[in-house]
Amino acid sequence: MVASFGCSSILSKSIESPLAWTSTDIKKEDYFFELSRQACVEIQRLLKSLQNNPLPSVDDLHSHDLLVCRELMASIKNVLDKGLGFAILDRLPLDSISIEEAEKALFILSSLIGRPVPQNRKGLMFWDVQDLGLKPLAGSGVRPSQSNIALDLHNDFVSNPVFPPYIGLLALQVAKEGGESLFASFYTIHNHLLQYYPHILERLYQPFYFDRMGEHGDEEPTSYQSIFKYQNGHLTSRLDIHLIKRGYEMRAKSMDEAAIIALEALKNISVNQSLCFQEAMEPGQVQFVNNNVVAHGRDKYKDGPQIPRHYKRIWFTHLPDDAKPSFALL
């Protein structure tokens, strides 16, 4: 059933799907994958051939023997698209490969699902998620991932008109305290709001200002988009409360009362243990997330005196075989 309330059509029935899960539905075998010895051998063999070469293209990988890795990543892709929408791969052998080789391994594994794409207008393929001591203020261009603040449930780069379908996040070093990963299904969030807070949904289908984090070129530094959109039988979700608040600051506009109430309801979901799943990452592990369907976040964290928390992030998407990675194509 679809209703219209002066904005885009609103999905007014519950979503029934394996992607609409609660924490009690989750079993470790549904999201946890081990990187086998055979898969490690395939990766290390390819890394050796790439010692003096740049990253391989997606098409180049077809010429390499990666049978075990292909089967593994096909299983992970199935979980991302038809299962829980997130997976954890355990783990890259960080004790025997360099950080540069770990980046290449992340690129190789992600490329077996989709085509990696740049994460900013400069063409950066890997993003360092670590505390740089910067403040993610409105209009600063500093991303929240460059600080140690808690990240509410969100999906990546939703301030851009088009955002990446998939995320890969490699843990190089975990925090001394905190920093645990948080996951929630957008389908479940929508079902929860529909059942308990139906009056809030209408505002979430109307637009909010988002800070575009300095990635706008000659365009407006903010975007104006709804959190939920239902079109052609598909629910699209865009959530980043931090960037929304920054967007309103940049526009020097006060948020309307309905928007404040709606965002507070979404923020409260982050502490609802029945709707969210929390997992502590370990060095070498990689989390993969369907950025369209699953919201992710993290606790505030504290670094140790000498070994700071450090993750490597990659974005990837499905593009035609002849398309080239481009920031504009995200």
The model's pLDDT over 145-164, given as tens digits with 9 standing for 90+, comes to 999 999 999 999 999 999 99
Per-residue model confidence as pLDDT tens digits over 257-308: 999 999 999 999 988 999 999 999 999 999 999 999 999 999 999 998 888 9
The CATH class that applies to domain 28-329 reads: alpha beta
Task: Answer yes or no: is pLDDT of 328 > 50.
Answer: no
Q: Examine residue 91 and say whether the peptide bond preceding it is cis (omega within 30 degrees of 0).
A: yes
Q: How far is CA 164 from CA 18, 77, 245, in A?
A: 21, 15, 22
Cα–Cα distance between 119 and 124 in angstroms, integer? 6
| pLDDT score at 3 | 54
Residue 120 DSSP label? S
pLDDT value for 320: 56
pLDDT band of residue 1 (cuts 50, 70, 90) is low
Q: Distance (Å, rounded) from C-alpha 111 to C-alpha 73?
A: 9
Q: Is 61 exposed, middle or buried (0-12, 13-18, 19+ CB in 10 A)?
A: middle
Beta strands 127-129 and 276-279: pairing type? unpaired
pLDDT digits (tens, 9 = 90+) for 233-251: 999 999 999 999 999 999 9
Burial of 139 (0-12, 13-18, 19+ CB in 10 A): middle
Residues 6+ apart with CB under 8 A from 100: none
Residue range 200-209, pLDDT digits in tens: 999 999 999 9
Measured distance CA(62)–CA(163) in Å, rounded: 27
Q: What pLDDT does 325 receive?
A: 40
DSSP classification of residue 61: G
Predicted confidence at residue 8, as pLDDT, reads 62
- Who wins on pLDDT, 320 or 162? 162
Dist CA 124 CA 120 (whole Å): 6
Tell me how crowded residue 271 is: count the other CB atoms within 10 A of its CB: 10
Three-class DSSP category at 138: coil
Tell me the domain boundaries of the chain: 28-329
Choice between 94 and 327, residue whose per-residue pLDDT is larger: 94
CA dist 1 and 24 (Å) reads: 27
